[in-house]
Structure 1
Amino acid sequence: MIPNSSSDMDGTKRKSVTISEKIEDTPKQDEDKLIQAIGEFGRWHVMLTMTLSAPIRMTAVWNHLGIIFLAPKTEFICAERRNNNETIQESECYSDCTEYEYKTDFVNTIISEWDLVCDRSWLTNFNQTACMSGVLLGSIVFGFFADRFGRRPALLTACTTQLIAGFTAPFCPNYITFTLVRFFNGAAVAGALLTSFILMIETTGISKRELMNCIVSVPLSVGEMIMPMFSYYLRSWTRYSFGLALPNLVFLVLFFIVPESPKWLISVGRLEEASLIMTKIAKWNRLPTEDMMDRVKIIAFESNVDAHKNVKATYLDLIKVQEIRWKNIGCCLTWFILGLSFYGSNQYIGQTSPNVFVAIAMAGAIQIPGILLSGYLCKRFGRRHTLIFLFILCGISNALLSVPDDWYYFKLFIGSTAVSSASGAFATVYMFTTELFPTVARNMAMGASSTVSRIGSMLAPFIAGLTATGPWIPPTVFGLVPFAAAVACFCLPETRGKKLKDHFGET
């Protein structure tokens, strides 16, 4: 409690104590007073983390990998030609073909629905490219939106867009509409992923961030594991799309339970709103709520909010501001290489089983050990050393995938190690990046990093396709680039045990 005035036992009044004087009398230490007020990871944090992480992360991986079951391997044959004098071969293209018949394990796919074969076959890959382009745009737009207008409106806008796009997809009348829907869905998924994670980490205590990060990351792998189940039982691109859209209804609950980030509110000078939200969180966590407004004022004073609240950060600040320029460059390089390496690691696992359902479920399952290991290593050794170790392990594993195919079990073990280490690195870099940047630019920094990561993922298939030129080229590239990321991580400052900064220039 911070009184304006107080009395001694004899009734004589002492002089009033201002907030600034109270702060000056308090020993300087790297403590987060906001977290002290609302708790490090109480009942409210568990509720919010589970409500956000499960639906948002699982639906995100369904969107990113959905093309696997929307456009699975499909054999075709020309059923009707204008010239019938020639023998028709299966999966052979003919310029005068007017109708195709399809053979697949599914009732229908987007390939059979819109004849995406022969001279239209490139449209299948273009659909996935459009989805990833949406992810790129969403990372940029929602990153800026969340830092300028708040985490809550950005998150709810992204979730609403994803909900609408999800239920629109099964009813698209043509390919163009379906591709546009996938584009907007990708943008919404990116926005929901970034803003939800930022909101959770800004309200989690320093000593519990690793735990929270593991809880948030595991649903990505679980979502990948259960995605084949939807496709196996639904067997139609329309029913499959509708089945994946149904869980999005959970997003409606978020309108009633997701608050604005009190850390962001304080950073922009909206102290009363921050006080009300912190009071509600403290009640949930069974902590004292007295004089919450005074605590908020102390936090604002320490962060020098009055001098910064009218300063609006932009993406240019990630380059112009010297203190974060090299952090941004290091993070972007790390994310780019990680996007490239993660694809390179996954390409082998997808080939270990002739059954696509088993292969995808396996790829999801082997990511979990890496995520859990990264949590332990981050807690024990810090973010930087954890990333360096995981990148080196991933690089060595990718390089060893060049051994002969006869070494099946060795390649399976090495491929699993590569995927697991890459997934652990992804989980770590999410947390590391949020800790490196101040509140006013945190989402934009994450958006920039996520954008270059998707560029890396989009370039990776071209590198993998160089096998025909030289079978040694893909494993060499995928094996060497993680070492460059390890060097970039070495140049970044450690953030373990440090509270999140709010503004540029804050010590």
Structure 2
Amino acid sequence: MMELSAYERLLTDISGNGRYEKLLVTIALLQAISASFLHTGSVFILGLPDSRCYIPTVNNFSSLANNSFVQNIFIPWDDSTKGYSRCLQYNYNLSVCSGNYTAECIKHTTLNATQRPITNCADGYYYDRSAFHESATTEWDLVCENLYLMTLSSSSYYLGLVFGAAVGGMAGDRFGRVLVIWVATVLTFASSLASAFTGNIYVLIVMRFLVAFCFMPISVNGFVYACEVSRLTFRPILGSLGNAFFGLGCIILAGLAYHWRNWRDLQIAISVANLIIMFAMLLLPKSPGWLLSRNKKKEAARVCHLMAKRNKGTFCNKTFQEASITTDESESTVGIGELMRRPYLRFMLCSNAAVWCITSLAYFGVLLNSGSLAGNVYTNYALGGVFEVCFTLLSIPMITKLGRKNSTVGTMAVTSASCFLSTVAISLGNANTSAATAVVVFAMIGRASTSATFAVIYQHTGELFPTPGRSTAFGLSTLAARIGSILAPFTIQLQYSWPWLPPLVFGTFAAFGSLLASLFPETKGQAALTTFDEADVFMKKHFRSPIVTKLFCLPRDVQPRFADTNYELANLQVKPNF
């Protein structure tokens, strides 16, 4: 079994009892709580309550403003949604009731009307404000013909995450994880706070993009920092811990949103809460791994001494001198090229990216739809967070017992089944109380299982690809996930025409993702791949089925690209993945 690198041995020595190590990892992963506030806050900020056309001749009289009375007389029934229309009304001539607007007069006039013309909502909209006192959707009437603006506002945020991840990763490599976190904290707070004072939806769309762009460097560098200060044995569970913090953030957000029912007040509360959380990250010392990679040995030695002292570990000067993080320029520049030129790695890269995209589509689709579920939106959202935390923590022993592939296949299959069952329950109609409750339960299970899938694929991705191409694989997988999250709001919008369609879409894609993941090699107990040639041989050995090779146009014989490589997977002597 290959010895640990000098840097890994250095981390093992200075980690000692691990108390300070765990503290640093916890602080670095606190950004996941902030991420849950920002990534999913649109459930409340852009909340869409039940709505219908505003009928001035009725709504202006409190004695006649009973919603059931208005709907039964003035609002057409929509067979596609199995509910009253949100965007149409009967336009009766009630002039005979002028000065005498009573229920009896209105009923008599409408029942005896020879014509029942249907028109759009000419006088605006009436909203049920029992859950949201004022959301951006109700303030700017982002319904009916303007519904796309609400969807665009959500998608613009996830688009900002794409660009923020790219810039944040490069900035963190060049200027250091902690410095980038500091700068991004200030920018995130400023842009998030400014969002609460926007004057129209178009400015809010831009501001949400900026918030995501400024925050993503914190998320990227926070997770990288946690990896760089933790021992090799502790690293595999970081993804699960991050997801657990994300679920905890969802629970906290439900409480904040319940207290502040106006979206502007909630946006301010989220900004302040995030600032408090992010201030804790300012306590982090610089990453010793990054310092060594930039040849800042004196500062790295100081940080290592500090960690050794607080962990009650040991600092070995000889190990420190041997430790360095070196990047082979040729490998880093051709990483994407090598991954794409080799058929098996190309198939693995594209398939893995597809699984990430599907998982993100299903997760954010189910989560952002929380406001449309039956029951109290705040209770549903908080309960979903509880499910997430529980399922994510269960994924840690599940990965160990069942393996990476089986865990991914299983959790995605659960997501698919829950979405299909939701489709069946929705088709039974909103009037069926049992069916409505079943939709909520299935949504919770689907949300939790996709969260568990994320925890698994974080680890599996790192083990499927060789060292020179691992960062590239993670980067492309993250990009694919962001594409899924961008598409999720547009998929949800379909429910306003066909309520059963979004869960059917999510379930179908999740089923495909589960089948695709079933083709992946199992990496539990397998040796870590360190070169492209090793990965070639490993993938060829796994994908030896004629059906798979023919179906995906994979060559049957793949030879190592370098003639001097005499490598056999069976003889690989490196540290296995447990």
TM-score interval, normalised by the smaller of the two chains: 0.7 to 0.9
> Is the contact made by 2:135 and 2:263 (CA closer than 8 Å) also made in structure 1?
yes
Aligned pairs for 1:388-403 (under 5 A) are 388-403=409-424
Report the Cα offset of residue 246 of structure 1: 0.8
Greater CA radius of gyration, 1 or 2? 2
> Of 58, 69, 88, which aligns to 2:44?
69
State whether structure 2 residue 403 is matched by structure 1 residue 375: no
SS in 1 for 2:234: helix
State whether structure 2 residue 230 is matched by structure 1 residue 204: yes
Q: Distance in 1 between matches of 2:354 and 2:534?
A: 23
Q: Distance in 1 between matches of 2:349 and 2:515?
A: 15
Letter in 2 for 1:370: F
Residue aligning to 2:129: 104
> Of 34, 48, 51, which aligns to 2:27?
51
State whether structure 2 residue 11 is matched by structure 1 residue 35: yes
Which deviates the most, 192-201 or 108-117? 108-117
State whether structure 2 residue 195 is matched by structure 1 residue 220: no
> Is the contact made by 1:206 and 1:499 (CA closer than 8 Å) also made in structure 2?
no
User: CA-to-partner distance for each residue in 1:30-83, whole Å, 9 max, x for gaps?
Assistant: 5631331332771222222332323x21221221222221232354656899xx
> Is the contact made by 1:152 and 1:260 (CA closer than 8 Å) also made in structure 2?
yes
State whether structure 2 residue 366 is matched by structure 1 residue 340: no
User: CA-to-partner distance for each residue in 1:319-352, whole Å, 9 max, x for gaps?
Assistant: 4575965554343122012112324655886655
Q: Distance in 1 between matches of 2:282 and 2:368?
A: 41
What number of residue pairs does the alignment pair up? 469
Q: Distance in 1 between matches of 2:206 and 2:199?
A: 12
Report the Cα offset of residue 501 of structure 1: 6.9
Report the Cα offset of residue 148 of structure 1: 4.6
Alpha-carbon RMSD: 4.1
> Is the contact made by 1:267 and 1:503 (CA closer than 8 Å) also made in structure 2?
no
Q: Distance in 1 between matches of 2:19 and 2:25?
A: 10
User: CA-to-partner distance for each residue in 1:425-447, whole Å, 9 max, x for gaps?
Assistant: 11222333355567887665434
State whether structure 2 residue 447 is matched by structure 1 residue 423: no
Report the Cα offset of residue 483 of structure 1: 4.4
Residue aligning to 1:24: none
> Of 491, 497, 500, which aligns to 2:520?
491
Report the Cα offset of residue 237 of structure 1: 1.5
Residue aligning to 2:114: none
Q: Distance in 2 between matches of 1:64 and 1:238?
A: 17
Residue aligning to 1:15: none
Aligned pairs for 1:291-440 (under 5 A) are 291=317, 294-300=318-324, 305=326, 308=328, 313=333, 316=336, 319=339, 325=346, 328-343=349-364, 345-346=366-367, 352-404=373-425, 405=428, 408=435, 414-434=442-462
SS in 1 for 2:285: coil
Letter in 1 for 2:507: F
Letter in 1 for 2:24: L
Distance 1:195 1:347, change over 3 A: closer
Residue aligning to 1:280: 306
Q: Distance in 1 between matches of 2:143 and 2:369?
A: 26
Report the Cα offset of residue 142 of structure 1: 1.9
Q: Distance in 2 between matches of 1:278 and 1:488?
A: 40
> Is the contact made by 1:210 and 1:379 (CA closer than 8 Å) also made in structure 2?
no
Distance 1:165 1:489, change over 3 A: farther
Distance 1:492 1:34, change over 3 A: farther
> Is the contact made by 2:182 and 2:282 (CA closer than 8 Å) also made in structure 1?
no
SS in 2 for 1:446: helix
> Of 177, 184, 193, which aligns to 1:158?
184
> Is the contact made by 1:340 and 1:478 (CA closer than 8 Å) also made in structure 2?
no
Which deviates the most, 174-183 or 454-463? 454-463
Letter in 1 for 2:211: N
Report sequence identity in percent: 21
Which deviates the most, 342-351 or 221-230? 342-351
Report the Cα offset of residue 266 of structure 1: 3.6
> Is the contact made by 2:241 and 2:393 (CA closer than 8 Å) also made in structure 1?
no
Q: Distance in 2 between matches of 1:222 and 1:130?
A: 25
State the TM-score, normalizing by the size of structure 1: 0.77
SS in 2 for 1:359: helix
Residue aligning to 2:159: 133
SS in 2 for 1:259: coil
Report the Cα offset of residue 231 of structure 1: 2.1
Q: Distance in 2 between matches of 1:399 and 1:205?
A: 41
Letter in 2 for 1:354: G
Which deviates the most, 441-450 or 381-390? 441-450
Q: What runs of 5+ residues in structure 2 fail to find an aligned partner? A: 58-69, 76-85, 89-118, 536-573
Report the Cα offset of residue 286 of structure 1: 0.9
State the TM-score, normalizing by the size of structure 2: 0.68
Letter in 1 for 2:455: A
User: CA-to-partner distance for each residue in 1:374-406, whole Å, 9 max, x for gaps?
Assistant: 111223344333223322333344334444547
Distance 1:265 1:331, change over 3 A: farther
> Of 245, 250, 259, which aligns to 1:233?
259
Aligned pairs for 1:254-265 (under 5 A) are 254=280, 256-265=282-291
Q: Distance in 2 between matches of 1:231 and 1:473?
A: 25
> Of 260, 263, 270, which aligns to 1:244?
270
Q: Distance in 1 between matches of 2:136 and 2:369?
A: 25
